[in-house]
Amino acid sequence: MMKDIATPIRTQEIMAKHGLTVKKSLGQNFLIDPNILRKIVSQANLTKQSAAIEIGPGIGALTEHLARAAGKVLAFEIDQRLLPVLDDTLSPYDNVSIIHSDILKADVADAIAKELEGYEDIMVVANLPYYVTTPIIMKLLLEKLPIRGLVVMLQKEVAERITAKPGTKAYGSLSIAIQYYTEAEMALTVPKGVFMPQPNVDSAVIKMTKRPTPQVEVIDEDFFFKVTRGSFVQRRKTIFNNLQAAMPDGKEKKDLILKALEEAGIDPTRRGETLSIKEFGGLADKLYGYFG
């Protein structure tokens, strides 16, 4: 059995061998606890009939565990310096493909078609760079990729926002956007001490399972998201006040906003954080009739 990459000693050896330093600008923190990695991978329920997509494999700590569990691993790495390192650390595994690319610019659907042909069950499993967590998750959901879901590690605070329920402080347009497409649950919290270097914040792993169809059916998705984002711009304001700022000529067309709220059965004095996704769906459709 190979020695795990994710131990403090092995990580230091690999970094010394390749003359590596951590790039803060890319949000690099290397995991040095194999137990945490096993827990992350177990959340994805992979078999040899599954494929895994990883973002930012770093020096291969998580990639190695994915390669052991899945039939094929496709990883996107933005940092050119890490390509030869991954070649070296992952040399025992012949089921890993690394694409040198920024995931936000990559044609992921095309990469899946080429690299993961024949795999019906595909999961994204990644320790995401903190500074671009949300754009990455939203890209993967909006592109309607053939994936079963995502198991990702991110900042604990962002994880709390993604999994938040209506009526809580953490609930907002991000909770709605992700829960619209997926069932999101907190899988585990991860202390700072399992990373090298240690980040300033605690992390958490969330599991997002894609829904067969979005949680609510709306006339226009873009408009729905516009309404949900607009409803949280100033959290202390009522939904009525926030929508006046969010809708085109909303101030002049207050009566139409009130009308839509009334038709959707929503009290205009409520705040955005009290509305469920279904309520937002109904409201967006009523507003679309006037502002779409």
Q: CA–CA separation, 276 vs 279, rounded Å? A: 5
Between strands 203-210 and 182-190, the pairing is antiparallel
Please state the pTM of the whole predicted model.
Answer: 0.93
Residues comprising the binding site for S-adenosyl-L-methionine? 29, 31, 56, 77, 102, 127
Cβ(202)–Cβ(156) below 8 Å: yes
User: Each residue's pLDDT tens digit in the chain (292 positions)?
Assistant: 568 999 999 999 999 999 988 776 666 788 999 999 999 999 999 999 999 999 999 999 999 999 999 999 999 999 999 999 999 999 999 999 999 999 999 999 999 999 999 999 999 999 998 889 999 999 999 999 999 999 999 999 999 999 999 999 999 999 999 999 999 999 999 999 999 888 888 999 999 999 999 999 999 999 999 999 999 999 999 999 999 999 999 999 999 999 999 999 999 999 999 999 999 999 999 999 999 8
Residues comprising the binding site? 29, 31, 56, 77, 102, 127
CA-atom Rg of the chain in angstroms: 21
Q: Where are the domains of the chain?
A: 8-210, 221-291
* CATH fold group of domain 221-291: Helicase, Ruva Protein; domain 3 (1.10.8)
Cβ count near 103 (within 10 Å) = 25
Chain centre distance of CA 133: 6
CATH 3.40.50.150 at 8-210, yes or no: yes
Greatest Cα pair distance, the chain, in angstroms, is 70
